[in-house]
Amino acid sequence: MFNSVLIVCTGNICRSPIAERLLRRTLPKKKIDSAGIKALVGHSADPSAVLVAQSHNLALDGHEATQFTATLGQQYDLILVMEKFHMEKISHISPEARGKVMYLGHWLDKREIPDPYGKSQEAFEYIYQLIEKASQSWVEKLIE
């Protein structure tokens, strides 16, 4: 059983905060956090991510970007990543964690979720929809 989940993206200001808050909302009894491979440590969520989340009644208030470390990786039962690059970096930083790393989009044919950073609000909306769909597919597995 997975009681703790860490969601990882690159900067920890766009994709992973959205996924973290979506999963927290639907799985309130589980420990769910997020981090970045190249985190913008201490930064709040990207303004475009905040806007798209708000448009879906999801708050990213209080988010602060956190750097992924081997120590952090050891604290979670499951680590969900957005891209192959994240999986490779985690394997390098924390080889012992590799066995518990999967794509957030695993149940969507192992689909990667591209980075919307610096792109249009429409791109953020598209990514939000992907993250929401991927997160919902994990909720179904995590509550079984």
Q: What is the pLDDT of residue 140?
A: 87
- Residue pair 104/97 in contact by the 8 Å Cβ criterion: no
94-130 pLDDT, tens digit per residue, is 999 999 999 999 999 999 999 999 999 999 999 999 9
Whether 21 sits among the annotated catalytic residues: the reply is: no
Which residues are registered as beta bridge partners of 36? 9, 67
The pTM of this model reads 0.96
Mean of the pLDDT values across residues 62-82?
97
> Of 15, 21, 33, 46, which residue is the catalytic one?
15
Q: Where are the domains of the chain?
A: 4-142
Q: Specify which residues 81 forms β-bridges with.
A: 8, 103
Q: What is the CATH number of domain 4-142?
A: 3.40.50.2300
What is the 8-class DSSP label of residue 82? S
61 is catalytic: no
Q: How far apart are CA 71 and CA 6, in angstroms?
A: 12
Using one digit for the tens of pLDDT, what is the confidence trace for 5-63?
999 999 999 999 999 999 999 999 999 999 999 999 999 999 999 999 999 999 999 99
Closest CA to 15 of 65, 69, 75, 78: 65
Residue 15 among the catalytic residues: yes
Task: Give the model's pLDDT for residue 70.
Answer: 97
Joined tokens for residue 2: 């997975």
Alpha-carbon distances, residue 3 vs 27, 62, 68, 142 (angstroms):
10, 23, 19, 8
Cα→Cα distances 105→55, 69, 131, Å: 22, 22, 8
Q: Judge whether 134 and 33 are in contact, CB under 8 Å.
A: no
Q: What is the structure's pLDDT at 144?
A: 64
Which residue among the candidates 25, 98, 111, 115 is catalytic per the annotation? 115
